């Protein structure tokens, strides 16, 4: 008998806790919509009590996405739970996910609570959440290092209090597959009432075993797997959901289980998350890495040309990696461009389409052939996730081995041109200093990276950088151009626009 495995995506909560990642409301909503299109069952949109911004983001996701459960995370105190409900209450399907640490290490050193106090808090929290929604998930944080008898006791108590999902986290990535599978099987066998709830696992990747542990749990009774796209998250990250899903799909001989995920959306979802978080996917990453379906060895190439299955256990098209044979160039019209976007899964407003088509025609004057990757980069840059307070009008650079790098910047703000010049340690530094002078905002750039979207001398350069003003909140900017310096300027201005927008939102929240 085949079993359904529910996919719980925590990209927007645990994934955003990756060092240096900070998503604004618009970015979270865009990712959430793509996750719904991907077909995940639950989206954990954030931790509403953690900040006003996170609360607003969770509420925006709850209102924006349809056909999927939206969960808000809460500690086992009433203030957290009330705030979580206020954030998710407008969702078509709302879940409150409450948690408390249960290992002796955490109870002694972090919570400073006794087992009795932890048990009491867990029961009270589940009951409080149950008063708001029928869908309540309880997590025993650091379950893999919790004394089994106490873990069984608190799980049974949470079920009795009304929990509908019980999550067993390997919070620090300590477990190994054999023992973890046995551990889950014992819980499913020994805990009273466990047959009335969905058993879930949330595995971290500190030893590189998050996916293996999640699959071992599925084989032993777990029916929900929690993880993140591209495996992002705290420390070494979470279980990579695309790997879990494709293993269940590819190895049906071993796993008599299925998910509701639309696998052809996997690659696009991965790219979107990578773009908006600024976390590049390693080339040899399973399923979604650039090399996942690449073959350089002559023997491998010969085999694949004769029969793809000689060296590919998955069809690339199954995860959305298939390439189009439609060649786009400067003679391509608006209708063909719109059709290509629809084929690629983009749904743009008329304004976004017009701006993207204009960018496409300008690029076509510089490149003879436009690839899907080029088009995707243009569209993602033009889709406005925050208002463009500043727009790059022009850029002039003076640089060389015998001159001080100098940048002159022209920005448009409300149709007014603002101009400044600045020197720097290099051309990119000079650009950033000139933008700072123009906007009156002094930022610190904490990272800068470039990726060639396509091959060749006329390749588009994709610059991703991160800035901060206070060392705490980080803003990611992205710029696309065949000119690396222009791409850098666009990326920096993009990050500044996010900063300005978030400051304005904070002021509005304070006034309310």
Judge if 375 and 397 occupy the same domain: no
Judge if 68 and 33 occupy the same domain: yes
Burial grade of 408 (CB within 10 A; 0-12, 13-18, 19 or more): middle
Confidence band, pLDDT 50/70/90 cuts, at residue 372: confident
Confidence band, pLDDT 50/70/90 cuts, at residue 240: very high
pLDDT number for residue 303: 65
Within-domain flag for 350: yes
Query: Left if phi > 0, otherwise alpha if psi is -120 to 50, otherwise beta: which for 326?
Result: beta
Q: What is the mean pLDDT of residues 393-411?
A: 94
How far is residue 39's CA from residue 30's CA, in Å, rounded to a whole number? 14
pLDDT number for residue 374: 77
Residue-wise pLDDT tens digits, 330-339: 777 888 788 8
Tell the residue number behind the tokens 């009008």, with chain if given: 393
Q: What is the mean pLDDT of residues 207-224?
A: 98
CB contact burial 131-164 (16+ within 10 A = b; e otherwise): ebbebbbbbbbbbbbbeeebbbbbbbbbbebbbb
Judge if 349 and 404 occupy the same domain: no
Within-domain flag for 271: yes
Residues 6 or more apart in contact with residue 481 via CB below 8 angstroms: 460, 461, 487, 490
Confidence band, pLDDT 50/70/90 cuts, at residue 91: very high
324 within 8 A of 343, measured Cβ to Cβ = yes
Q: What is the enclosing helix (H) or strand (E) of 374?
A: helix 372-382
Greater model confidence, 195 or 462 = 195
How far is residue 414's CA from residue 388's CA, in Å, rounded to a whole number? 10
Q: Phi, psi at residue 404, to the nearest 5°?
A: -75, 125
Q: Inform me whether the pLDDT recorded for 300 exceeds 70.
A: no
Q: What is the mean pLDDT of residues 215-233?
A: 98
The token duo for 166 is: 């019980």
pLDDT number for residue 324: 47
pTM for the full predicted model: 0.81
The token duo for 375 is: 């088009």
Judge if 405 and 495 occupy the same domain: yes
Within-domain flag for 486: yes
Judge if 212 and 355 occupy the same domain: no
Within-domain flag for 284: no
Weakest-pLDDT range from 45-59, 65-79, 116-130, 350-364: 350-364
Within-domain flag for 360: yes
Chain-wide mean pLDDT for the chain? 90
Judge if 203 and 77 occupy the same domain: yes
CB contact burial 177-216 (16+ within 10 A = b; e otherwise): beebbebbbebbeebeebeebbbbbbbbbbeebbbbbbbb
Q: What is the enclosing helix (H) or strand (E) of 266?
A: helix 266-277
Strands 165-170 and 136-141 come out as parallel
Greater model confidence, 474 or 368 = 474
Weakest-pLDDT range from 98-112, 265-279, 357-371, 421-435: 357-371
466 within 8 A of 278, measured Cβ to Cβ = yes
Greatest pairwise CA separation for the chain in angstroms: 77
Judge if 450 and 414 occupy the same domain: yes
SS3 141: strand
C-alpha closest to that of 203 among 230, 174, 166: 174
Within-domain flag for 377: yes
pLDDT number for residue 456: 66
* Counted domains in the chain: 4
Within-domain flag for 285: no
Task: Return the top range by mean pLDDT from 242-246, 360-364, 397-401.
Answer: 242-246
Judge if 145 and 162 occupy the same domain: yes
Confidence band, pLDDT 50/70/90 cuts, at residue 147: very high
Query: Left if phi > 0, otherwise alpha if psi is -120 to 50, otherwise beta: which for 471?
Result: left
Confidence band, pLDDT 50/70/90 cuts, at residue 345: low
Instruction: Specify the DSSP class assigned to residue 109.
Output: I
Q: What is the mean pLDDT of residues 362-374?
A: 74
Instruction: Return the CATH number at 155.
Output: 3.20.20.70
Q: Inform me whether the pLDDT recorded for 301 exceeds 60.
A: no
Residue 264, domain extent: 3-277
Residues 6 or more apart in contact with residue 97 via CB below 8 angstroms: 44, 71, 72, 73, 74, 84, 136, 137, 139, 167
C-alpha closest to that of 397 among 438, 360, 353, 429: 429
Residue-wise pLDDT tens digits, 248-278: 999 999 999 999 999 999 999 998 999 888 8
C-alpha R_g of the chain: 25
User: Strand locations in 383-495, DSSP E?
Assistant: 391-398, 406-413, 416-423, 444-452, 461-468, 474-481
Judge if 120 and 202 occupy the same domain: yes
Judge if 316 and 376 occupy the same domain: no
Judge if 376 and 395 occupy the same domain: no
pLDDT number for residue 22: 84
Strands 406-413 and 391-398 come out as antiparallel
The token duo for 50 is: 């953690």
Q: Inform me whether the pLDDT recorded for 284 exceeds 50.
A: yes
Within-domain flag for 204: yes
Confidence band, pLDDT 50/70/90 cuts, at residue 325: very low
Judge if 67 and 176 occupy the same domain: yes
């Amino acid at each position: 008998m085949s079993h359904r495995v529910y996919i719980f995506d925590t990209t927007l909560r645990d994934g955003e806790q990756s060092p240096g990642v900070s998503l604004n409301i618009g970015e979270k909503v865009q990712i959430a919509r793509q996750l719904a299109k991907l077909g995940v069952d639950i989206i954990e949109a954030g931790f509403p009590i953690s900040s006003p911004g996170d609360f607003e983001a969770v509420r925006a996701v709850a209102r924006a996405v349809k056909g999927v459960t939206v969960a808000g995370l809460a500690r086992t105190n009433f203030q957290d739970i009330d705030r979580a409900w206020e954030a998710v209450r407008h969702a078509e399907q709302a879940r409150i996910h409450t948690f408390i640490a249960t290992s002796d290490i955490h109870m002694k050193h972090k919570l400073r609570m006794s087992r009795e106090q932890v048990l009491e808090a867990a029961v009270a929290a589940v009951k409080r959440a149950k008063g708001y929604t029928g869908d309540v998930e309880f997590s025993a944080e650091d379950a893999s290092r919790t004394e089994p008898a106490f873990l069984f006791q608190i799980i049974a108590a949470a079920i009795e209090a009304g929990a509908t999902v019980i999550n067993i986290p390997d919070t620090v990535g300590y477990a190994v597959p054999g023992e973890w599978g046995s551990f889950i099987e014992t819980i499913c066998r020994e805990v009273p009432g466990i047959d009335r709830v969905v058993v879930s696992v949330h595995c971290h990747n500190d030893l590189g075993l998050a996916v293996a542990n999640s699959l071992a749990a599925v084989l032993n009774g777990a029916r929900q797997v929690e993880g993140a796209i591209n495996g992002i998250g705290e420390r070494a990250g979470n279980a990579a959901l695309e790997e879990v899903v494709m293993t269940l799909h590819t190895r049906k001989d071993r796993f008599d289980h299925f998910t509701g995920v639309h696998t052809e959306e996997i690659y696009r979802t991965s790219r979107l998350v990578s773009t908006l978080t600024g976390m590049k996917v390693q080339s040899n990453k399973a399923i979604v890495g650039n090399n996942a379906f690449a073959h350089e060895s002559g023997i491998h190439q010969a085999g694949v040309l004769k029969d793809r299955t000689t060296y590919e256990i998955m069809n690339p098209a199954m995860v959305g990696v298939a390439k189009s044979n439609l060649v786009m160039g400067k003679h391509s019209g608006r209708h063909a461009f719109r059709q290509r976007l629809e084929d690629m899964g983009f749904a743009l407003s008329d304004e976004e389409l017009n701006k993207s088509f204009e960018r496409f025609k300008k690029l076509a004057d510089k490149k003879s052939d436009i690839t899907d990757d080029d088009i995707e980069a243009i569209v993602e840059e033009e889709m406005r996730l925050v208002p463009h307070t500043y727009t790059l009008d022009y850029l002039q650079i003076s640089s060389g081995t015998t001159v001080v790098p100098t940048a002159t910047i022209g920005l448009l703000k409300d149709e007014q041109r603002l101009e400044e010049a600045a020197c720097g340690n290099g051309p990119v530094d000079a650009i950033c200093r000139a933008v700072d002078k123009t906007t009156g905002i002094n930022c610190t750039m904490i990272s800068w990276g470039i990726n060639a979207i396509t091959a060749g001398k006329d390749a588009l350069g994709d610059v991703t950088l991160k800035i901060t003003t206070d060392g705490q909140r980080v803003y990611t900017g992205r710029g696309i151009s065949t000119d690396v310096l222009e791409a850098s300027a666009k990326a920096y201005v993009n990050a500044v626009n996010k900063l300005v927008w978030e400051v304005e939102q904070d002021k509005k929240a304070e006034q309310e």
